[in-house]
Structure 1
Amino acid sequence: MPDKHLSSRFDADLDFLSSRLLEMGGLVESQIAYALEAVKEFDTVLVDQVLEGEHRLNAMEIKIDEEVTNIIARRQPAARDLRFLMATSKCITNLERAGDEARKIVKRMRRIHANGGGLNVNTAEIKASGEMAMHILRRALDAFARMDTVAAAQIVHDDEAIDSEFRAFVRKLVTYMTEDPRTISMGLDYLFIAKAIERIGDHAKNIAEFVIYVVKGADVRHVSQEQLEREASGS
């Protein structure tokens, strides 16, 4: 959160935005958890829950963005306050897109289920990367709530582990599809699921990068990990 202001109402506005962002983040976490459970259990009820939650996420994004615009118009913020508001708007966009990825996962699982079930393939990498993506998103939201730049830099680094799991699963899928061309269609569905999980990790990483932007005033997108860590630590 930005520092306290002479206007208590301004502080209340910023606190409200922060709480709403975290509320939206909690809903996205639930969406991802339901989606991962659907991958494990082939549960069509979970599919319906995720699709219903998507509408709530879209409405929350619009409402929070409207509040950001109203605060900018009323308060004409500068420096860190303006960065906080801009970052909030971008973070809720990333949260909404992470929710979109959960929707993509369950829609693919519904298609797999309709086609008779899954491949006889170990999906350990999907499960592992899904748990990592959820954990990283939770940590990114916590870092945003505390404006913890050191934690944010570590999250960006840890996202590499999700990418590694994705690449491992792709290699496995290619082997299965090469050995049995009949599995290609379903294999591609699993590939889209794995890619969706990777993208969730990317959105969590983006949120972490915005923490550094708010606190340090540095845009650390597309920079090396070493430079990002220097900016985060202020060295």
Structure 2
Amino acid sequence: MERLNISDHISRQFNEELENVRGQVLKMGGLVEEQMALAVQALVNGDAELAERVILNDYRINALDVAIDEECTRIVARRQPAATDLRLVMAVIKTITDLERIGDEAKRVARMVVEHLSGSVNDEVRQEMEHMGVLVREMLRGVLDAFARTDVDTAMAVVRADRKVDAKYGAITRQLMTYMAEDPRSIPMTLNILWAARAMERIGDRCQNIAEYIFYLVHGRDIRHTSIEDAELEHAREQARERESGQESE
């Protein structure tokens, strides 16, 4: 876990503003995680009533997105943050954008249940979708934990976990293609399941984005177009530099 100097300002109020923003992001993340879990539950159980609840509650995520964005704008205008503080504000703005879009994907899955899939997912596909939902939820939980603790190691584990989600999405896609080939009458329903799986795959991508913002927050480097192996190597180098710096100051 990395230690960032975000609580060492002359202004106590500035410290409180930054900590409040972090807290609001985690609150938003908790709501998003709940929405996603309920959407997957509605999908695997064919529960249209639960899906409706997910759709209706999406406004709570949108409201937090707007409120946090406005607070970040006020901080930039009032405090003119620099260095780590500025990176934190920028990481927050990017993170809430991805959290809001994860909420949108959860709502998309819920709408699919209400409009097309209620009670129509067979047991084999249900198990696969449920497993994919578990993988994605673990990614979201992990990246929120990484954000709370500015933990690059956990963030990198989330990036790696996205490969499992992609593999599961590929397996579900192949399975559904086989169903459509065997029974053309199943094509409309199967395509809807495929779109729901695609929404969950995108949630995994959003979690990876947030993990990359955490790396940027801690190390000040954008790794969006860098391989996970190179990013982990860079992280190890930064940790070594910090240890050497700490030893020299003793």
Task: Indicate whether 1:83 and 2:93 are aligned.
Answer: no
Return the TM-score normalized by structure 2: 0.90
- 2:136 corresponds to which of 133, 138, 142: 133
Q: 1:141 to 1:120 in 2, by over 3 A?
A: closer
> What residue number does 2:12 align with?
8
**Any conservation in 1 of the 2:43–2:117 contact (CA below 8 Å)?**
no
> What residue number does 2:96 align with?
92
SS across alignment from 1:123: helix
Tell me how far 1:56 sits from its aligned partner. Answer: 1.1
**Range with bigger deviation, 32-41 or 116-125:** 116-125
> What residue number does 1:226 align with?
229
List runs of 5+ in structure 1 lacking aligned partners: none
Tell me how far 1:105 sits from its aligned partner. Answer: 0.4
Task: Indicate whether 1:71 and 2:80 are aligned.
Answer: no
List runs of 5+ in structure 2 lacking aligned partners: 241-250
Tell me how far 1:16 sits from its aligned partner. Answer: 0.3
1:128-164 deviation line (CA, Å, top 9, x unaligned): 1111111110110110111011111111011100000
SS across alignment from 1:77: coil
**Any conservation in 1 of the 2:52–2:111 contact (CA below 8 Å)?**
no
Letter in 2 for 1:98: I
- 1:186 corresponds to which of 168, 185, 189: 189
**Any conservation in 2 of the 1:108–1:189 contact (CA below 8 Å)?**
yes
Tell me how far 1:110 sits from its aligned partner. Answer: 1.4
- CA-based RMSD of the aligned residues comes to 1.4
Distance 2:170 2:18 in 1: 40
**Any conservation in 1 of the 2:162–2:204 contact (CA below 8 Å)?**
yes
> What residue number does 2:163 align with?
160
Identity %: 43
**Any conservation in 2 of the 1:125–1:166 contact (CA below 8 Å)?**
no
Return the TM-score normalized by structure 1: 0.95
Tell me how far 1:117 sits from its aligned partner. Answer: 2.2
Work out the number of aligned pairs and report it.
234
Aligned pairs (5 A) from 1:198-209: 198-209=201-212
Tell me how far 1:42 sits from its aligned partner. Answer: 1.4
> What residue number does 1:58 align with?
62
> What residue number does 2:112 align with?
108
**Structure ID, larger Rg:** 2
Task: Indicate whether 1:23 and 2:31 are aligned.
Answer: no
